[in-house]
């Protein structure tokens, strides 16, 4: 027990727990608050903070660049896939429109209209 605790007279705690110790203020715990830093120490601290910020920005920029490259690659893959699918389609031109009228419903659903002039 310290000298302060023996001199202090305390009544019963509101909660009824007599074993509770008195709480100390945060300012009394924080000993670095009152210390003054020299100019060189402040400069060094500022330099360290600046370096860490630059490093974190560089990491964030690198991650964003990777994500952007991944997105661009995905877009290109989707375009290429669509182009390849168009190239690989087997097309049968219906020259006689009367055939369409004679078709069953299932066959009609499978028909897709395309511009055959732009197929390359």
pLDDT in tens, 53-80: 999 999 999 999 999 999 999 999 999 9
pLDDT in tens, 31-40: 555 567 889 9
CA separation, residue 78 to residues 26, 27, 54, 81 (Å)? 59, 61, 36, 5
Domain count for the chain: 1
Domain that holds residue 53: 38-110
Domain membership of residue 77 (yes or no) is yes
pLDDT in tens, 85-98: 988 988 888 888 88
Question: What is the band of 83 on the pLDDT scale with cuts at 50, 70, 90?
Answer: very high
């Amino acid at each position: 027990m310290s000298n302060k605790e023996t001199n202090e007279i305390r009544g019963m705690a509101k909660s009824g727990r007599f074993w509770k110790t008195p709480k100390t203020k945060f300012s009394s715990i924080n000993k670095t608050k009152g210390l003054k830093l020299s100019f060189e120490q402040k400069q060094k601290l500022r330099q360290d903070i600046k370096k860490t910020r630059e490093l974190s920005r560089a990491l964030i920029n690198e991650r964003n660049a990777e994500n952007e490259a991944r997105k661009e690659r995905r877009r290109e893959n989707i375009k290429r896939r669509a182009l390849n699918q168009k190239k690989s389609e087997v097309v049968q031109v219906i020259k006689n429109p009367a055939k369409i009228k004679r078709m069953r419903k299932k066959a009609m659903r499978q028909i897709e209209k395309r511009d055959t002039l732009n197929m390359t």
